[in-house]
Amino acid sequence: MAQDLEKIKEIRKRLSEAPKYDANLKPVYDIAGIQKLLPHRPPFLMVDRILEIEEDSIVGIKTIGVNEWYFQGHFPTEPVVPGVLLIEAMAQVGGILVLRGVDEPEKYSTYFAKVNNFKFRQKVVPGDVVVFKLVITEPLNHSIVSMSGKAWVGDNVVCEGDMVAQVIKNKE
């Protein structure tokens, strides 16, 4: 029990500060590199760049353009990124972290198994650059991996939560 509390404290500490986005730095993965790891394609590819990657954490960004497809209906006079799409973007960033550790990542996909404790703290609107940071809380074991993540616009947390994913080999 005490070990679990220490682990939770460590993860919260690692997720407490907003990663700094510097547009001048070369990304670890650009769109082409991301598309080698993820099966998603526009308009459902929701990650623009991966800025940092370590063994158990990752930082990625999504720049929100005024012409995003979902703004046609959500909401035409006051566009807001749907929360479920922020969760999806976060999951895609996490998927890159998980899949880069798998042999032949192009042969695998990650699927949601569970989302928990998501909180939305601020609207995300056109022009925002959303910075996502995820930390693996339970490493890949029997095709299941758990992560915690936060998303920021500037220094403000816009959403946060936990997710569990299953890594499955694609059908040939």
Residue 60 carries which side chain, given as an amino acid letter? Answer: G
Is residue 142 among the annotated active site residues? no
**Do 144 and 166 touch, CB atoms closer than 8 A?**
yes
The CA distance from 49 to 56, in Å, is 18
Interior/surface letters 3-27, b for 16+ CB within 10 angstroms, e for the rest? eeeeeeeebeeebeebbebeeeeeb
Nearest alpha-carbon partner for 165 in 85, 58, 91? 91
Catalytic residue among 18, 33, 63, 74: 74
**Environment class of residue 116 by beta-carbon count within 10 Å: exposed (0-12), middle (13-18) or buried (19+)?**
exposed
**Do 109 and 170 touch, CB atoms closer than 8 A?**
yes
The CA distance from 60 to 134, in Å, is 9
3-state secondary structure of 71: helix
Catalytic residue list: 74
